[in-house]
Chain A
Amino acid sequence: MRTSLRKKAYILLLLPALVISVSVVLIPGIQTIWSSLTDWNGFSAEKHFVGLANYVELFQDRYFHIALKNNIIWMVLFLTIPVVVGMGMALLLLYRKKGRNILQMIFLIPYVLAPVVTAMIFKNIIYNPTSGLLHFINELNIGLDLSNPLTNRQFGIIAVAAVDMWHFWSYLMIIYLAALRQTPQDQLEAARLDGASFPQLFFHVYLPNIKQTVWLLSIMIVIFSFLAFDYVNLLTQGGPAHYTEVLATLAYTSAFSQQDLGMASAISVVMSGFGLIASVIYIRLTMREERE
């Protein structure tokens, strides 16, 4: 009697969070999976079951291939540049007790700025070829003729990713730094007594200790790479001629410009699928590690 009363109280305390999350995330999420199997346009009452037709059409779509390629480029860029820079800076700050806090604060400033503002700053004052920094460099007449990188078919997506990486790298640095600082002192002492060089110290003492964190963040990067939306939509809206399209912008335009909610849902499910695969790999890896 008493325990059941207690349990009721616990459920009551969990209820606000669960109700909000279930009504905003879970139920519409299930609706999306269901909609991806229909030809629903998003507002009419008509909704026919079409099986996997949306997926079949999607996998043959040229823009889907461009988008997928761009998401993969995005992932490769984010798994290398911010990871290397973030780790490097974390190591450089590790032994600097005095400057650490202030440098950490400076590096974090880009991370706390709104995507809207960051994107508009880069678009206007840096990338703009008629009145921005690029224009100024071109006017110097030093033999450079830079055009707007955002309208470049080949490198547009990299120009967009660069803005997001400028915003994002310090997040990795903060987490790496926090993890590095938890390396057991006795291991470090022992390695130093053996006369280990810094690279040896890093690969044999630090890295094994923070392996878990590095993996977790890498999986996170993979998941988020397939969800990238804000900077692409703000800087290029997938243009020119869909060359910077990513899955998220493709889904967005399918839903709101083409009123093809079935297709938009199918793209969303595919996006989530990549995240799910990444999560499963991560759980597998950690479980194997625990068994060993």
Chain B
Amino acid sequence: MKTKKISLIFQWILIGFMVLVACFPLYLVVINAFKTHAAIVENPLSFPVDIYWENFAKAWRTGSFGTGFLNSIRLTVVTTLIVLIASVPAGYVLGMKKFKGMRAVQVYFLMAMTVPVQLFLFPLYATLSRLGLIGNIYAVCFIIAAMNLPLAVMLMRTFFMKVPVQLEESARLDGANTMQMLRYVVIPVVRPGLITVSVLTVLNSWNEYLISTTFLQGQENFTVMLGYLALNGGSVTFDQGMKMAGALMIIGPVLVFFLALQQHFVDGLTNGAVKE
């Protein structure tokens, strides 16, 4: 009995330690966002004594967060829309229909899932620069959408496979055409899939770095991530307080979004990797 109690305490110590590891860097961001640089240099672990709000205004100005947030929202919304518009019909066909060549399409998307960005990045850059599309946010949306599509298609497929076939057949007998079928019969059943795919795509495109830093040249095209990077570069930027305030402003919306929809996020992560 006693060993069981000791083991239980030991388990909680391990869990507590990992909670600390996960939260400690964020704790540093939160407390230091409200301190002056001098106060941070003195002790980065202490709570702020005088709340120093100026950090937020400084970060907002220096990192051009105004345009940055607008561009990030635009990029995220457009990318997610493209992914949904393309993955829903594809997932429907792959999940509910049978025809020759379907297997090949499936294998193609599975393979596209593990292709490294670098395998297509450089010719894509050459092509877009020839077309004068460097700095064009919609071109970037298109590329990021293509990177998110394979997983989205495969996820939508698994959700469509859950739609009972009888439901579709009876609707078909009532004379519904394919578009009506999708709208009134199928979509309501796969709504959780739509949310899961959207949540994953929103987070991926909001957090995206490699494609945006390559293609979104020119300060006016920067996403908030690139603005934040610029704030960390330059010469004025020894100011730790400002950097932490900037980080907090970017983390905030993501955390709210994640906490509100975390179950769908977890579903999306586990769906592909765990066989049921």
Contact = CB atoms under 8 A, between A and B. Distances in A.
User: Which of B44, B99, B116, B117 has the most chain A CB atoms closer than 10 A to its own CB?
Assistant: B116
Contact of A112 (B203, B273, B276): B203
A130 to B, nearest CB: 8
B119 A114 contact: no
A6 B177 CA distance: 11
Contact of A20 (B118, B145, B226): B145
Contact of A105 (B43, B44, B259): B259
Interface centre among A103, A120, A216 (most CB of B within 10 A): A120
What band does the interface of chain B fall in when counting residues whose beta carbon is under 8 Å from A?
35 or more
Interface stretch (B49-57, B161-169, B188-196, B240-248): B240-248
Tell me what chain A mostly uses at the interface: helix, strand, loop, or mixed: helix
Of B23, B25, B259, B269, most A-chain CB atoms within 10 Å:
B25
B11 interface: yes
Interface residues of A, number: 92
Contacts, number: 257
B203 A251 contact: no
Interface in B213-227: 214, 225-226
Contact of B85 (A16, A99, A112, A230): A16
B69 interface: no
Given A10-B99, A136-B43, A272-B116, A121 B122 contact: no
A26 B107 CA distance: 13
B21 A166 contact: yes
Contacts of B9: none
A115 B225 CA distance: 9
Given A28-B124, A125-B25, A109 B119 contact: no
B143 A24 contact: yes
Q: Which of B87, B94, B121, B240 has the most CB of A within 10 A?
A: B121
B201 interface: no
A126 B25 contact: yes
A175 interface: yes
Chain B at the A interface: SS class: helix
B41 A113 contact: no
A248 B232 contact: no
Given A89-B18, A109-B255, A125-B25, A114 B225 contact: yes
A91 to B, nearest CB: 9
Interface stretch (A53-61, A186-194, A262-270): A262-270
A18 B101 CA distance: 13
A80 B188 CA distance: 43
B18 to A, nearest CB: 6
Interface in B244-275: 244, 247, 250-251, 254-255, 258-259, 262, 265-266, 269-270, 273-275
A206 B43 CA distance: 46
A135 interface: yes
A126 B142 contact: no
A182 B276 contact: yes
Interface in A233-256: 233-234, 248, 251-252, 255-256
A145 B78 CA distance: 49
Contact of B269 (A166, A171, A255): A171
A169 to B, nearest CB: 9
Interface string B88-124: 0110111001010000010011001011111111111
B125 interface: yes
A32 interface: yes
A258 B229 CA distance: 23
A107 to B, nearest CB: 6
A70 interface: no
B23 A106 contact: yes
A125 B153 CA distance: 40
Contacts of A108: 258, 262, 265-266
21 contacts: A10-B99, A13-B89, A24-B124, A28-B120, A29-B115, A32-B119, A92-B11, A92-B15, A107-B22, A121-B25, A131-B40, A166-B22, A166-B25, A175-B269, A182-B274, A223-B114, A230-B210, A268-B118, A271-B118, A272-B116, A279-B114
Interface of B: 11, 14-15, 18-19, 21-23, 25-26, 28-29, 32, 37, 40-41, 43-45, 82, 85-87, 89-90, 92-94, 97, 99, 105, 108-109, 112, 114-127, 129, 142-143, 145-147, 149-150, 153, 178, 203, 206-207, 209-210, 214, 225-226, 228-229, 232, 238, 240, 243-244, 247, 250-251, 254-255, 258-259, 262, 265-266, 269-270, 273-276
Closest 8 CB pairs of A and B: A24-B146, A31-B123, A13-B89, A28-B120, A114-B207, A17-B90, A178-B270, A16-B86
Interface of A: 6-7, 9-10, 13-14, 16-18, 20-21, 23-29, 31-32, 35, 42-43, 85, 88-89, 92-93, 99, 103-110, 112-118, 120-126, 128, 130-133, 135-136, 166, 170-171, 174-175, 178-179, 182, 212-213, 216-217, 223, 226-227, 229-230, 233-234, 248, 251-252, 255-256, 261, 264-265, 267-269, 271-272, 275, 279
Given A17-B109, A25-B120, A227-B116, 13 more contacts: A10-B93, A17-B86, A29-B120, A88-B14, A104-B266, A114-B209, A116-B226, A120-B228, A120-B243, A166-B22, A216-B273, A229-B118, A256-B214
